[in-house]
Amino acid sequence: MLFLAAVLTVTLTRVEGPVCKLRGRREYPLFAKDGDIILGGIFLFHGLMAEKQSFQTMPNPAQCKGLNLKEFQYAQTMVFAIEEINNRTDILPNVALGYKLFDGCGSIHMVIKAAMALMNGQDEEVSLDTSCTKPSTVAIIGVSESPQSIGVATTIRSFNIPLVSHFATCACLSNKKEFPTFSRTIPSDYYQSRALAQLVKHFGWTWVGAIRSDNDYGNFGMATFVQAAEQEGICIEYSETIYRTNPRENFLRVVDIIKASTSKVIVAFAYFMDMEMLTKELLIQRVAGLQWIGTEAWISASTLATSESYQILGGAVGFAISNAVIPGLREFLLNVRPSANKPGGTNLCTGSEQLENVNNDYTDVLELRITNNVYKAVYSVAHSIQNIIKCQSAQERILNITCVLQHLKTVNFTTKNGEKVYFDENGDPSARYELINWHHNGDGTIKFVTVGFYDASLPQEQQFVMNNNSIVWAGNKTKVPKSVCSESCPVGTRKAAQKGRPICCFDCIPCAEGEISNVTDSFDCIVCPLTYKTNELRDQCILKETEFLLFSELMGSLLVAFSLLGTCITVAIAITFFYFRDTPIVKANNSELSFLLLFSLTLCFLCSLTFIGQPSELSCMLRHTAFGIAFVLCISCVLGKTIVVLMAFKATFPGTNVMKWFGPSQQRLSVCSFTLIQVLICSLWLIISPPFPNKNMKSYKDKIILECHVGSALAFYSVLGYIGFLSFICFILAFLARKLPDKFNEAKYITFSMLIFCAVWITFIPAYISSPGKYTVAVEIFAILASSFSLLFCIFIPKCYILLLKPEKNTKRHLMGKVRTNQ
């Protein structure tokens, strides 16, 4: 370390050339060599010593401190590349490149001062009246940090001097309107920020913390990351700034925020020096076990990767510039020697020291990620100069600086490692990164293991390649850590945002009936089509079951059996009446109306069968019209028999001849008239809006009811209303005739039958409305059968009883006999 410090305190070579006058103390390059063409270099060999300033006194001049060995390696790599080019014959033959290397000391005003010295060729103090000739330097290599690069690029913009940076990644530097002379051999953070967002999304982390350096690099980079993260559905729990010169209180506040947070993953967009300060505080307070995601500015920094910091940053994952091998560089670095003459001081070294056994950031050639960018930057400038010389005549050797800038934009060459070097329209190279992971070796050192790659030049689906199996996570764990505000919502649920919290914090609400979500973390539930329902998990729409009354099911079979039973009994009674058609009891009860009534009852029993089975257009029209007409025919016959009873009683009075007004012809006409009215209603119904098969998907959410829609509700209620009207009239007349003094008064049985008939249909209405699905049809069939059986049994069974079991009562004398009535 002492030897290397001595090297930096010695000026190896002085350069003669035209200069411009600058006021103030003189600036000398730390390293310099004369040549036909001079390349400038600005590196941050030292850090800036922060001092407390007061408003009462003038601020002290900036003081440099420490020694950044990696920056020293970058500077020596630039010298190595220039020497290598000078020794080649295929590029810049007969042209000797020289160089001037300055120390920026980590200060923006220091790097600007160095840039002005490079432009003006300032080697000594001269008068202010001295005019400038041409700039001494055709291009500048550097600076390592974005804020300093912005300062230099702004300063040299008017002079058209190219600035090629090896480590300034701020996306803001891609703005050619503000920085037209800036180029770089390291990718822009525009790509790295998006790659970080894809990395976080890849591992399912939706709840992360964010730490950034409080400068252009950190602020611009984190802003781009936050924007990309929001597009990926990632939420930032907190976003805090750090900077190496901040007071300790600032770092303590950030550590407290990290300790109080619930996120287990932290994305750090910071320089390694800022991370060193934060890591020290985290180590003091033992804040370990968090998964760190890093950028190229610190993830591959060997200075930061120590056994102590591994306790905090162990298992860190992040993007780094691809590593490379530079043949001959190690030997060049080890052969560096200080000058034997150090002006103004005692000799610190003898000049014969050896570096073969020294292991530090300067001698480390295993990690040449950024160092290779310096190497490529020098060769980029060399190739642009080569292109200019090819276009010049043999006699012309005056180099136009503007041409260097123009030709630098079109540079395209391949390095010894097979890496293509070129710049896009923004002066940026192709964005390629290695995804590295911090591993702990058995000897206590930290190893950067490549676990993936990112190449923005490839198609979207091929840009990101990763090997998850080789990753060691925080705490030396092999399982991917989890960092979410809320657990993932399973299928069958949807996200419901928590009021006042980010979108990553949510509750999982089950999908409603008829809705599904078939992906995790769904924001909305999908409504199933009307013919589909949801399964138990609410993640699939399955076809609804169709429901209608089947002949094969128990209920349908029983109703069919009762329907056929009623039909058979009716036919049997008709046969019995036909057999005893000449007996007094059959003749006395108007045998013609009786046979017509039995026929209508047969139709009533059989029409119930049309209600069973899958509805069709024919069955729907038939079932309602057949039912309406059959029942009106039935009630008309009963009404006719009731009127006959009343007329027969009136005919017993002396001088009365009412039967001539309601004889057989009138009876037939009345039945036909009553029935014809219902036929007309049904005909209009079928013409205007007939019943039709319908899929009822409103009554039930989990099944489809196949039913017959009535079509015209007015026609349907007219049919039922007409049946109810005739039934009511028949009941009233029968009730009035129930106590007539006949031995065998049929009005009493008609009254009882109509009472049952009306009771059945009155109770049918609420039962019909409240019955679900196919049971609605079953209730309707039951009402038809019950009312039909009531008429059949009440009117005809007493007569069959006499015909078959009490034939002695089947005489005219017995039927004409009078019985006593209650007074």
pLDDT reported for residue 57: 58
pLDDT reported for residue 817: 56
Distances (CA, A) of 600 to 177, 558, 570, 759: 100, 22, 10, 20
| Of the listed ranges 226-230, 269-273, 726-730, the one predicted with least confidence | 726-730
- Write the CB contacts of 350 (distance below 8 Å, at least 6 apart in sequence): none
pLDDT above 80 (res 22): no
Q: Which residues pair with 414 in a beta bridge?
A: 420
DSSP assigned state of 169: -
Tokens of 411: 């540079």
pLDDT above 60 (res 21): no
pLDDT tens per residue across span 78-95: 999 999 999 999 999 889
If one counts every other C-beta atom within 10 angstroms of the C-beta of residue 645, the result is 24
Predicted confidence band at 302 (pLDDT cuts at 50, 70, 90)?
confident
pLDDT above 50 (res 32): yes
Q: What is the mean pLDDT of residues 43-66?
A: 66
pLDDT reported for residue 220: 93
pLDDT reported for residue 24: 36
pLDDT reported for residue 303: 87
Amino acid at 760: V
Burial 745-764 (b: 16+ CB within 10 A, else e): bbbbbbbbbbebbbebbeeb
Q: Which residue, chain included where needed, has tokens 């936050």?
A: 226
> How large a percentage of the chain has pLDDT more than 70?
85
Higher pLDDT, 320 or 638: 320
Question: What predicted TM-score, i.e. pTM, was given to this entire model?
Answer: 0.64
pLDDT tens per residue across span 337-394: 765 444 445 556 666 777 888 888 899 898 899 999 999 999 999 999 998 887 765 4
Predicted confidence band at 274 (pLDDT cuts at 50, 70, 90)?
very high
Residue among 765, 734, 729, 769 nearest 752 (CA): 734
pLDDT tens per residue across span 569-590: 999 999 998 888 888 887 766 6
pLDDT reported for residue 665: 77
pLDDT reported for residue 129: 40
Predicted confidence band at 4 (pLDDT cuts at 50, 70, 90)?
low
Residue 628 near residue 678 (C-beta atoms within 8 A): yes
| Of the listed ranges 354-368, 646-660, 717-731, the one predicted with least confidence | 646-660
Write a three-state SS string for 469-499. Answer: HHCCECCCECCCCCCCCCCCCCCCEEEEECC
pLDDT reported for residue 225: 95
Higher pLDDT, 347 or 695: 695
**Highest-pLDDT range among 65-69, 101-105, 280-284, 777-781:** 280-284
Furthest-apart CA atoms within the chain: distance in Å:
167
pLDDT above 50 (res 23): no
Higher pLDDT, 135 or 717: 717
Domains along the sequence of the chain with CATH: 2-50+61-186+365-418 (3.40.50.2300), 189-322+434-470 (3.40.50.2300), 505-543 (no CATH), 554-815 (1.20.1070.10)
State how far the Cα of 136 lies from the Cα of 356, in Å rounded to an integer: 37
pLDDT above 80 (res 18): no
pLDDT above 60 (res 11): no
pLDDT above 90 (res 66): no
Amino acid at 542: I
pLDDT reported for residue 819: 43
Distances (CA, A) of 724 to 37, 294, 350, 629, 652: 117, 87, 129, 13, 32
- 327 by Cβ neighbours in 10 Å (0-12 / 13-18 / 19+) ranks as exposed
Predicted confidence band at 648 (pLDDT cuts at 50, 70, 90)?
low
pLDDT tens per residue across span 582-619: 888 877 666 788 888 899 999 999 998 988 989 989 98
Tokens of 267: 């994305």
Tokens of 78: 């630039």
Predicted confidence band at 325 (pLDDT cuts at 50, 70, 90)?
very high
| Helices 617-650 & 774-805 angle (0-180, nearest 10) | 40
Write a three-state SS string for 363-420. Answer: CCCCCCHHHHHHHHHHHHHHHHHHHHHHHCCCCCCCCCHHHHHHHHCCCEEECCCCCE
pLDDT reported for residue 814: 67
Q: What is the mean pLDDT of residues 149-162?
A: 92
State how far the Cα of 149 lies from the Cα of 179, in Å rounded to an integer: 10
Q: What is the mean pLDDT of residues 693-700?
A: 84
pLDDT tens per residue across span 555-568: 999 999 999 999 99
pLDDT tens per residue across span 184-234: 999 999 999 999 999 999 999 999 999 999 999 999 999 999 999 999 989
pLDDT reported for residue 822: 40
Pairing between β-strand 291-294 and β-strand 317-320 as defined by DSSP bridges: parallel
- 477 by Cβ neighbours in 10 Å (0-12 / 13-18 / 19+) ranks as middle
pLDDT reported for residue 766: 81
Tokens of 434: 């290695």
pLDDT tens per residue across span 389-419: 877 654 444 456 668 888 999 999 999 888 9
State how far the Cα of 212 lies from the Cα of 321, in Å rounded to an integer: 19
